[in-house]
Structure 1
């Protein structure tokens, strides 16, 4: 996955007409998800991004590119003269990896199009600009320089922030919210097998509301890097109590975990107290906590500081989420109901015990 709405796919070893397959994939995505997409096929990631841009632009702006490249653009099948025409019709700033500043420098040097950039000498580009732009030039020339990532790299920081459903002024409600956010962030941290050494907490009022304004944040260092929910929540609540001021209507708060590194690279303290047993016990406890919440739903097991809500009730600080789309495929309560049919009861069965079947 490259981003939330885009991904690179390795087509090595796949037989058949790639253009036909891509059209079939696009039709399937449109049918199942209801979202149109563009597909670009090329020998390098930079050219594939360019092909994807061409596929979308050819459909949205007829005449800008050949109509046969709309929706699916396969640069591999294009003759060299047609590929050059596509590159010549593309501004250099549309090339993946060329930002506004570099694009301006290139245009000052007379490099206006993607074709102009592709015809540059890579060594010259490296000396004059950077090795990054050199890779871009080589990729435009058809030489793969950027590999496919099998899995995304670990995040450098993890955040959990929310706007409240209604303004919050009391410290206990803020403590519940911060405790919940810190617990969620800690779970994300363990999911990528990392530890954190610093916890940042922030709260602020709404700049769009009349009344006194207040916004503060604080970073709390941990004694040792950890992914333990209890330690992270304790640090977050410590920070909150330092920056909290009464008399303000807070509308948003959040927790960020900073200074992340792999859980395998853990630095121990020179301490005479035994730590191994306690650490391993906490790790097993966190594993059980994550497993229960994953199996039975988020929030099934929480720290007491996050508050306890009756089933069906929401905390005063929780987001309203009044227009959230129903989860038809993963939640029984969100299944659309067409109608109800009463099942005939057996003789002697009371009306209260009759079942209703949803059709």
Structure 2
């Protein structure tokens, strides 16, 4: 048995926690450089704002309908996600953090009323973190994802599904007849893993609803479409085919890329940018305990601007595989200087770490650089660097090539984020000051009710 917990309009909900005045108002969060809408409140959706809607096309709604647009504050969202996930983990005994706002939880062996337990967890998340969420419960991950959709839609659009399925939807509790009604009321395109192209093909074949898809013969689906869709059909029929990934495998590539807030032409500015990106990528590399053997750096102009176009990338091999920021940044700068050409207005740059493997593995190569001889010393140094940046803020301790600005946000190449909210939870100066508030927590299931098995 699985549960999927998903924060409602997550980015907007994070902003509303610290801005109560945004409740019941149309709010959107914009992408990097304030380009398009990547999160929308229900009120903004009612105005016709689509996911990915360019800001310049809906800017008029700011004055006509009171639309509030905010720049993305990923530091805030990431911290709020961690807080939410820590509470959601109490729902079961294993958790897969699927995305910044979603978690799958394994409920197998949990005793008691799972719906009641889910409501208690939801109430705690709402009270302690301030994020409303929907919870779907079902025998498979695909059905749990579908149940989550039902829980959120039933709350947002009364009448679309039975009212008792709002907020928490437990498909496992529904009799077969009621379950079929829910599946028949849901379009096939809402199924997890069914993209637009497959949905269009299914509809052409007369498969309009989830119930239609669930009633197909898996072997026929495999022959006509794919093994992936066959697995989806079996999951809709209640046969678990997708396990819980509570320990995701290390990434095979790590990238850090950014579009600039304004065009950048000078090499020193580009050097600062890619040095920052390489440092961030190296920190991610150390976090998953991996080494890299090749560094790719790229720069390109905007295809939408008038003027000469230029796009180049280069892969630079390292002398030896490492997670050390210094040689990674050095390789990045070496590559940048080879591909840079003056006279172009660059709008984006990025760094990718390739050929990753576990830091525990040793290549057995002859070390030709005496500065790299003491691996353990360098690893401790990088550990201290990461700890200081985690404690005092990203980029507080950095290589000189990343620039002397206090933060990357002040650099010439920084992203345009004119509407970003303060870092309420990750920066002391931005913390809100409030009066004493009496807080009581919602009831939680007892230890006996949890019934966790070894």
TM-score, normalising length from structure 2?
A: 0.66
Can you list the C-alpha shifts for 1:41-83, whole angstroms capped at 9, x where unaligned?
1111111011111122223333332222222211111111111
Q: Would you say how many aligned residue pairs link Structure 1 and Structure 2?
A: 339
Output the CA distance in 2 between the equivalents of 1:313 and 1:178: 14
Report if the CA contact (8 A) 2:396-2:407 is conserved. Answer: no
2:389 pairs with 293, 302, 313, which one?
A: 293
Does residue 200 (structure 1) correspond to residue 296 (structure 2)? The answer is: yes
Output the CA distance in 1 between the equivalents of 2:405 and 2:186: 56
2:310 pairs with 214, 217, 227, which one?
A: 214
Residue equivalent to 1:190: 286
Can you list the C-alpha shifts for 1:71-103, whole angstroms capped at 9, x where unaligned?
221111111111122122223332222233433
Output the CA distance in 2 between the equivalents of 1:224 and 1:54: 52
TM-score, normalising length from structure 1?
A: 0.81
1:45 pairs with 128, 141, 144, which one?
A: 141
Output the CA distance in 1 between the equivalents of 2:156 and 2:391: 44
Moved more, 229-238 or 109-118: 109-118
1:312/1:178 CA distance change after superposition, 3 Å: closer
Can you list the C-alpha shifts for 1:296-351, whole angstroms capped at 9, x where unaligned?
33223322222334699933333454432223333221123589xxxxxxxxxxxx
Report if the CA contact (8 A) 2:395-2:408 is conserved. Answer: no
Can you list the C-alpha shifts for 1:15-34, whole angstroms capped at 9, x where unaligned?
44322333343344444555
2:351 pairs with 255, 260, 263, which one?
A: 255
Report if the CA contact (8 A) 2:186-2:210 is conserved. Answer: yes
Correspondence 1:28-39 to 2 at 5 A: 28-39=124-135
Residue equivalent to 1:157: 253
Moved more, 101-110 or 183-192: 101-110
Residue equivalent to 1:352: none
Tell me the secondary structure at the aligned position of residue 318 of structure 2: strand
Q: What is the deviation of 1:195? A: 1.9
Report if the CA contact (8 A) 2:396-2:406 is conserved. Answer: no
Moved more, 117-126 or 4-13: 117-126
Output the CA distance in 2 between the equivalents of 1:201 and 1:312: 19
Residue equivalent to 1:114: 210
1:5 pairs with 76, 97, 101, which one?
A: 101
Can you list the C-alpha shifts for 1:140-175, whole angstroms capped at 9, x where unaligned?
222222111113332232222233344432212221
Moved more, 40-49 or 96-105: 96-105
Output the CA distance in 2 between the equivalents of 1:178 and 1:254: 6
Output the CA distance in 1 between the equivalents of 2:220 and 2:409: 65
Cα root mean square deviation, aligned: 3.1
Residue equivalent to 1:81: 177
Tell me the secondary structure at the aligned position of residue 410 of structure 2: coil
Residue equivalent to 1:282: 378
Tell me the secondary structure at the aligned position of residue 240 of structure 1: helix
Moved more, 297-306 or 210-219: 210-219
1:19/1:108 CA distance change after superposition, 3 Å: same
Does residue 22 (structure 1) correspond to residue 106 (structure 2)? The answer is: no
Output the CA distance in 1 between the equivalents of 2:433 and 2:367: 61
Q: Which has the larger radius of gyration?
A: 1
Output the CA distance in 1 between the equivalents of 2:345 and 2:204: 52
1:59 pairs with 155, 158, 167, which one?
A: 155
1:148 pairs with 234, 237, 244, which one?
A: 244
2:327 pairs with 217, 227, 231, which one?
A: 231
Moved over 6 A (4+): 271-276
Can you list the C-alpha shifts for 1:182-205, whole angstroms capped at 9, x where unaligned?
111111111111222322212233
Report if the CA contact (8 A) 2:324-2:378 is conserved. Answer: yes
Residue equivalent to 1:179: 275
